[in-house]
Amino acid sequence: MLIKFKGKMPQIDQSVYVAEGAKIIGDVTIGLEASIWFNCVLRGDIDYIQIGQRTNIQDGTIIHLDHGFPCVVGNDVTIGHRAIIHGCTIESGAMISMGATILTGARIGKNAIIGAGAVILEGQEIPQGCVAVGIPAKVTREVTEIDIKRISKGKDEYIKLANLAKQNHD
């Protein structure tokens, strides 16, 4: 469901899949072939949310903001089920695993991986190509070629699933 807020309606390309129960509110822009799955909430009410191309935001994820802290998510990002993303930047190719929390002002570098249930603290930066896990999250290793291939395969699978869901919904 798309909801206008403070005169702003979400801007979503026709190629985007939005599953039933998802709520997209206010100043939100979503790029080509992205997918927003069941019961996600993207609340662009006090700043803006920008979601890149081919990014998938999985079931139950919440994306919100803080004053002066928009949420910018790059291209080809995977955000796992039930993640909480708050006023931060996630660069292209990153993977945020299930149940992870990314707090205000954090920055996740290109092709970084955030482990399941990890908490990225306010203002924390995870460098490009690193894996971070734990509470609070700490970098444990560098991303491998196997990791990159697995993330790319998952992203491609979500594009296929979104296309199937759109066909079955019509």
Give pLDDT tens digits for 20-41. Answer: 999 999 999 999 999 999 999 9
Q: What percent of the chain has pLDDT over 90?
A: 97
Is the confidence at residue 157, as pLDDT, over 70? yes
30 alpha carbon, distance to own chain's centre: 11
Rounded-to-integer distance, Cα 72 and Cα 48, Å: 8
Three-state DSSP class for residue 96: strand
Cβ atoms of residues 43 and 36 within 8 Å:
no
* pLDDT on residue 168: 83
* pLDDT on residue 170: 56
* pLDDT on residue 156: 95
CATH number assigned to the domain covering 2-169: 2.160.10.10
Cβ atoms of residues 163 and 131 within 8 Å:
no
Domain borders along the chain are: 2-169
Give pLDDT tens digits for 101-147. Answer: 999 999 999 999 999 999 999 999 999 999 999 999 999 999 999 99
Strands (E) in the chain, as ranges, are 2-3, 11-12, 17-18, 23-30, 35-36, 41-51, 56-57, 62-64, 71-73, 78-79, 84-86, 89-90, 95-96, 101-102, 107-108, 113-114, 119-120, 125-126, 130-133, 138-142
